[in-house]
Structure 1
Amino acid sequence: MPPATLSSINITILGSASAQPSSTRNHSALALRLGGDVWLFDCGEATQHRVQKSTVKMGRTQKIFITHTHGDHIFGLLPLLASRLDGAGGVVDADDPRTKAESRQAVPPLEIYGPLGTRAYIRSGLTYTHTLLGAPYVVHELRFTSDPPLDPTALPPHSFELPGRDIQQVDGVWPEIYRDDLVTVSAAPIMHSVPCVGYVVTELPVPGKMDPKLYIPHLKRTKMPMSLMSRLQQGESVELSDGTVLRGPSRRPGRKLVILGDTYDPSPIADLAADADILVHEATNSHLPGVDPETKAEDTHASVEARAKSRGHSTPQMAGRFARRIRARKLLLNHFSARYAGNDDVDEQARSIMEAIKALAVSEFDGEVVCARDFMSFDVELRQEG
């Protein structure tokens, strides 16, 4: 069978705020739709509410990737898990089918990836809220070399928790923490005030552009079935009845998405992120004199950048410089301070502020720049050949 290909890759922003939500921005969460599957990146408070108000299907969520364990990136994880896995509260009943071992084996687990602490946070939250689940989950932790040893006094696994991997770094990164027939996921540390991870989702090579006129006459001449076109489309070679060998077009690189958590310097992920089709990079703080009425008179671009770095964050210019460094095609700015409203599609002042933030990134990066807005949704297209 020829390898499958993804029909589409879609990004939907479920939350674009930093630190605290506002009336126009929710806490950090991004949904990546790979064909029919949904993967979430971060899961801030009230993420499940945003899912319910979006076109993202909760039941299709297969994986969740946590960048770091700050509350604005993880406080929505437990309620979302309870909803996604048919959870309920109450006293454990021996007759409840959710307590049966066979229930844990009936369906594939929801997979969660994150740094040290992700597993303990979920385990303790579910245990002490007496949450029963109707399906299993598994947590794979990405271990930093500086992580402390495992705590032998930790809580035992939740009844629906399956054993997860403790993934060690290889040459400073976590290569291919996940792989299937369509995509791979790798990760690397990025610099923040706490251990933080950036993820790189890479689509495996896809069929090249095919010109049927190069093949159909040969198939007709040798009375070979037209169904062979599907094999040629996948880049395979086909031998015809007269010994002629037709070779399909070479496969070409798939799409690469780089989704970063909070950072003041994502340099450790630069090699993995090279030539990204889209880079999702935070831009928490900006200096916007004459545009943002809250701009401090004594501030400069340099002072705002220094203050952002001291808190583990970035400015749009910093995001633009990194996008240029890795030769990204498109930069999606995200994780904005609560002072920057997210209703720029309907509010003129918000629009002028977001356009000014975009312009700061454009000053450092000549690719496409987009400022995230909650419920924004778009497809990631393949690059044109040639």
Structure 2
Amino acid sequence: MSAPQSLSSVNITILGSASAQPSSTRNHSSLALRLDGDVWLFDCGEATQHQLQKSTVKMGKIQKIFITHTHGDHIFGLLPVLASRLNGAGGMTDPAEDPRLQHAEQTRVTPLEIYGPAGTRAYVRNGLTYTHTILGAPYVVHELRFPSDLPDDDLTSMPLHASELATGRNIRQVDGIWVDIWANDLLAVSAAPIFHSVPCVGYVVTELPVPGKIEPAKYIPALKRTKTPISVMKLLQQGESVQLSDGTVLHGPERKPGRKLVILGDTYDSSPIADLAREADILVHEATNAHLPGVDPNTKDDDTYESVEARAKSRGHSTPQMAGAFGKNIGARKLLLNHFSARYPGNDDLDEEAKKIMQAIGTLAAGEFNGPVICARDLMSFDIEPRR
């Protein structure tokens, strides 16, 4: 059976949409990207595994985890998810009897891949080691190294964890970006730095060009004339060329651009990723703080749009207007706001006051953006449709 030429389903599910502190209606940051049967997580804040259990995302389908930065609200849930996903637990009284420690068995299993900035490998290795956690399957950590990072320093003297593969790469930038940190026949992932209070990464997931729409009437007369089986339409649909018995060559429709998803970490300035992110089908951008006079009862009397923006930037964060302006700059088709302050409720589907606040935040972004704006809510799920 030939490999699929395009993805049939691309879905985003929000597992957590809070910033520094979770609230009763928002969990810490995490987003699940479902690509047909596989699941990729972007960030993994505290209690992400609880959110997975509440969602329709299957834990066992997680293949990759991408960390934007190592602040706790984006990484504290990583070790519990690894333990749950990879059958982790404490050891047996006789370690020799624990099948999870048999390395020959682990080498036959595709490892779970983790990508993140320097420190991610040390955090995972030390955390698993000091909690005496044994995993039943392997993992590997690839680090996106900034120019200021030491090229081969793992930031820990701890030896490899029993389940950690030694094949983790230290990926260096090329012209300021990390190019194709992962790719196959359908997808490619690249990344670029974005400005925050600590080293932070934005990821761009690009679906490679997909088959164009076929027009059967263009081909059927020639197929009938040469008595060519209609089944060759499948080859034409994939953009291939077919030579008929009379020498005529039929060419399938030209391939068209695939979907592009831009998923950013915390930032007060996303400009370094702008070129890589252009024409995104969806931009996921933080909007931690907003000035909402007359809407948010917690609004300070002396606050202005300018003072709130200045305060957000000083802490490495953005306002909805900043997110909208960046989305417009890169020509994004849709904007998803997330990473909201704990003061902004996440139950706007049930509570009218919460709905007013989140609509006001969306309106601020829409004033700068030329397309639909969505405000993230925990466990929200929607598909990214193919380009027409």
Same fold (TM over 0.5): yes
Q: 1:11 corresponds to which residue?
A: 12
User: Do the aligned residues in 1 keep the contact of 2:116 with 2:142 (CA within 8 Å)?
Assistant: yes
Change (3 A) 1:252 1:152: closer
1:159 pairs with 2:162: yes
- Aligned partners of 2:322, 2:88: CA distance in 1, in Å? 42
The number of equivalent residue pairs is: 384
Change (3 A) 1:320 1:131: same
User: Do the aligned residues in 2 keep the contact of 1:62 with 1:110 (CA within 8 Å)?
Assistant: yes
SS at match of 2:233: helix
Q: 1:333 corresponds to which residue?
A: 337
- Aligned partners of 2:139, 2:257: CA distance in 1, in Å? 32
Residue 90 (structure 1) shift: 3.1
The code of the aligned residue for 1:367 comes to: G
Change (3 A) 1:263 1:131: same
- Aligned partners of 1:338, 1:127: CA distance in 2, in Å? 33
SS at match of 1:264: coil
- Aligned partners of 1:225, 1:137: CA distance in 2, in Å? 47
Residues 173-252 of structure 1 aligned to structure 2 (within 5 Å): 173-252=177-256
SS at match of 1:227: helix
1:351 pairs with 2:355: yes
Q: 1:323 corresponds to which residue?
A: 327
What are the superposed Cα offsets for residues 142-172 of structure 1, whole Å, 9 maximum, x if unpaired? 0000114616861001001002000011111
Change (3 A) 1:153 1:288: closer
- Aligned partners of 2:124, 2:156: CA distance in 1, in Å? 16
SS at match of 1:268: helix
User: Runs (4+) of structure 1 moved beyond 6 Å?
Assistant: none
Residues 5-84 of structure 1 aligned to structure 2 (within 5 Å): 5-84=6-85
Residue 95 (structure 1) shift: 1.7
SS at match of 1:126: helix
Q: 1:292 corresponds to which residue?
A: 296
What are the superposed Cα offsets for residues 270-299 of structure 1, whole Å, 9 maximum, x if unpaired? 010000000000000000000000000100
- Aligned partners of 1:115, 1:204: CA distance in 2, in Å? 25
1:116 pairs with 2:118: yes
The code of the aligned residue for 1:274 comes to: R
1:85 pairs with 2:90: no
The code of the aligned residue for 1:224 comes to: T
SS at match of 1:106: coil
Percent identity at matched positions?
Answer: 75
User: Do the aligned residues in 2 keep the contact of 1:2 with 1:234 (CA within 8 Å)?
Assistant: no
Q: 2:264 corresponds to which residue?
A: 260
Q: 1:129 corresponds to which residue?
A: 131
The code of the aligned residue for 2:238 comes to: Q
1:363 pairs with 2:367: yes
1:282 pairs with 2:286: yes
What are the superposed Cα offsets for residues 104-161 of structure 1, whole Å, 9 maximum, x if unpaired? 2121000000000000000000000000110000000000001146168610010010
What are the superposed Cα offsets for residues 293-315 of structure 1, whole Å, 9 maximum, x if unpaired? 00001000000000000000000
What are the superposed Cα offsets for residues 201-257 of structure 1, whole Å, 9 maximum, x if unpaired? 000000101111111222122111111111100111111111111111000000000
1:101 pairs with 2:103: yes
- Aligned partners of 2:349, 2:190: CA distance in 1, in Å? 34
User: Do the aligned residues in 2 keep the contact of 1:196 with 1:262 (CA within 8 Å)?
Assistant: yes
Residue 2 (structure 1) shift: 6.6
SS at match of 2:121: helix
Residue 3 (structure 1) shift: 5.3
What are the superposed Cα offsets for residues 319-345 of structure 1, whole Å, 9 maximum, x if unpaired? 000000000000000000000000000
Unpaired segments of 5 or more residues in structure 1?
none
User: Do the aligned residues in 1 keep the contact of 2:122 with 2:156 (CA within 8 Å)?
Assistant: no
User: Do the aligned residues in 2 keep the contact of 1:324 with 1:366 (CA within 8 Å)?
Assistant: yes
Q: 1:374 corresponds to which residue?
A: 378
The code of the aligned residue for 2:43 comes to: D
- Aligned partners of 1:90, 1:206: CA distance in 2, in Å? 47
User: Do the aligned residues in 1 keep the contact of 2:5 with 2:211 (CA within 8 Å)?
Assistant: no
SS at match of 2:290: coil
- Aligned partners of 1:383, 1:232: CA distance in 2, in Å? 19
User: Do the aligned residues in 2 keep the contact of 1:2 with 1:231 (CA within 8 Å)?
Assistant: no
